[in-house]
Amino acid sequence: MRLAGKTVVITGSSSGIGAVAARQLAGLGARVCLVARREEELAEVQRAIVETGGQAWIYPADLTDEASLDQCALRILDDHPQVDVLVNNAAHSIRRPITGALDRLHDYQRTVNINYIAAVGLTLKLLPRMLEQGSGQVVNISTLSSQVPIPLFSAYLASKAALESFSRSLLAELGDRGIDVTVVYFPMVRTPMSSRTSIYRHMPMMDVEKAAGWIVKAVRKKPARVGSPLGTVGSLALAALPGPVTRLTQPAFRQMDRLLKQKMGRD
């Protein structure tokens, strides 16, 4: 798809992957709508885009608050007669064992609120405009970790699995009405969110520019999935042999954690 003149809404675009993807899309001629909680940081991203000849609008909002989400969607629809793409990138991750969360139901609630409910909520608000146009795309950001049996991220992975299921339903129901749906399966990416977990300082990760490029690829080519060969193989293996695959991979993850902790101890 040619991006010049297309209106692309990107959530979680005040920093990290969302901010860089917004700059890349604007550089290709897209009109980007920046959505996140932090207005100052959104304004900085907007300024960087405008200074290089791009077009950007900012929409500060807390997408976990229904009234704020509604207002944000109304402003976008008022400002832009056509909405071509929604990228649901805003997310929150928690690294914690299930046994460490026995009295922390709120971990699951706040994670599902931003990773799933907010994404679905904004999709539902913008979808009527896309259907009226006869075309539109929803890009939902997921993770490689949902394609292989990863421990310690149960809240995060459950929310992403829900978003993936919603994505499949959306495509199945509305694909024949011009609605494209893409799920992007990122591996670990070096972002402010991942940097909050100190154990991952020594883990090799994808850089933000490359990750943002995957979002650009999703928007330009409109595939059902953007991800890595490892993720594809993991999905097939997990679907075919869930029990054996889960049991066989766990020693490797435990060993990886031990090595990372050893490296942390040497800092």
- Strand, helix or coil for residue 2: coil
Instruction: Give the C-alpha separation, 7 to 126, whole Å.
Output: 12
Supply 162's token pair. Answer: 């829900």
**Pairwise CA distance, residues 104 & 43, whole Å:** 35
Query: Which candidate in 108, 156, 185, 200 is catalytic?
Result: 156
In the chain, helix, strand, coil percent, each to 5? 60, 15, 25
108 tagged catalytic: no
Using only C-alpha atoms, the chain has a radius of gyration, in whole angstroms, of 19
- Look at residues 39, 41, 121 and name the one whose alpha carbon lies nearest to residue 86: 121
Q: Using DSSP, how many helices (H) and how many strands (E) does the chain show?
A: 10, 7
Query: 237-244 contacts: CB < 8 A, separation 24 or more?
Result: 238/147, 238/148, 238/149, 242/149
Q: What is the C-alpha separation between 175 and 135, in angstroms, rounded?
A: 9
Residue 9: strand, helix, or coil: strand
Query: What whole-number distance in Å separates Cα of residue 206 and Cα of residue 209?
Result: 9
Catalytic residues: 156
